[in-house]
């Protein structure tokens, strides 16, 4: 009698388990987003140049928009300048894709005497007191030349007209020296150069007519560098010498 009762209860339990498994269900929904991607932006600076010397075009220093070749692209390369000579170069800076701060730098200036002619050392006509002393840094050409750099983008000139107009900002004027020039940074009150836009720099130079014989055979060489840095998340950027 007891055995039959145990068997009957076991059957009931099995049937109940089967019934629960067959009728259970849950509401559900699935949402999917595929191909999520982060792509870094880019900043690319390209430069074109238009140059003149004593009012005539300088083919070697004039080129269309491109990346510069640091050894062959020279803004200035003159071997026989004389008192009264002058030149002008309009340098057009194109920043691609993103807003950027823009810095220009002159570095590695070398002011060489390159020996002396007789008029150069003559105290009555030249008075070069370093004549014949070997080494760089003793030439007089650097101090004799006068340079002016300005933003060639005035409201009245349609930008890049190769002329310093009355409403344009002079960035520096005087003898050439090593240093960094803030074209657009947090100190210039201009904001950043907008991506896809163009900034024009006018650069004029002259060897004044009153220059004496002390500059004969002297040479001035140096490097010119342009640097752009993103402005987004970089509101306090200032142009400083590059390492």
What's the whole-number average pLDDT of the chain?
A: 85
Question: Residue 12's Cα: distance from chain center in Å?
Answer: 86
Helix (H) or strand (E) holding 215: none
Report the candidate in 93, 47, 66 with the shortest Cα–Cα distance to residue 193: 93
Predicted pLDDT at 6: 46
150: burial class by Cβ within 10 Å (0-12, 13-18, 19+)?
buried
Q: What pLDDT, on the 0 to 100 scale, is given for residue 11?
A: 47
pLDDT at residue 166, rounded to an integer: 84
The pTM is what?
A: 0.80
23 secondary structure, DSSP code: H
Is a pLDDT exceeding 50 seen at residue 107? yes
Which residues on neighbouring strands pair with residue 170, listed in sequence order?
150
Residue with token string 């130079």: 205
In terms of average pLDDT, the best of 8-12, 124-128, 180-184, 212-216 is 180-184
Calpha distance 96→79 (Å, rounded)? 35
Which comes out higher in pLDDT, residue 243 or 13?
243
Residues 223 and 180: their CA atoms lie apart, in Å, by 12
Structure tokens at 112: 């060489």
Q: Which helix (H) or strand (E) is 120 found in, with range?
A: helix 118-121
Taking residues 161-170, report their average pLDDT. Answer: 86
pLDDT at 158: 61
pLDDT at residue 14 greater than cutoff 70: no
Q: Is the pLDDT of residue 194 over 60?
A: yes
């Amino acid at each position: 009698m007891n055995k039959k009762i145990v068997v009957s209860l076991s059957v009931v339990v099995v049937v109940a388990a089967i019934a629960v498994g067959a009728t259970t269900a849950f509401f559900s929904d699935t949402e999917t987003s595929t191909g999520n991607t982060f792509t870094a932006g880019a900043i690319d600076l390209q430069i074109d140049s238009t140059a003149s010397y004593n009012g005539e075009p300088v083919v070697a220093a004039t080129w269309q928009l491109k990346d510069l070749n640091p050894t062959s692209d020279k803004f200035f390369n003159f071997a026989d300048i004389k008192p009264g000579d002058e030149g002008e170069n309009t340098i057009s800076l194109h920043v691609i894709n993103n807003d950027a701060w823009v810095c220009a730098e002159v570095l590695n200036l070398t002011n060489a005497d390159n020996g002396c002619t007789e008029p150069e050392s003559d105290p009555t006509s030249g008075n070069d007191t370093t004549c014949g002393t070997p080494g760089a840094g003793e030439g007089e050409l650097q101090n004799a030349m006068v340079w002016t750099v300005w933003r060639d983008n005035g409201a009245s000139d349609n930008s890049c007209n190769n002329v310093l107009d009355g409403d344009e900002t002079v960035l520096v004027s005087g003898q050439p020296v090593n240093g960094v020039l803030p074209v657009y940074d947090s100190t210039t009150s201009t904001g950043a150069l907008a991506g896809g836009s163009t900034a024009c720099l006018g650069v004029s130079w002259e060897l004044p007519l009153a220059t004496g014989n002390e500059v004969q055979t002297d040479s001035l060489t140096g490097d010119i560098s342009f640097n752009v840095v993103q402005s987004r998340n970089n509101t306090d950027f200032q142009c400083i010498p590059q390492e």
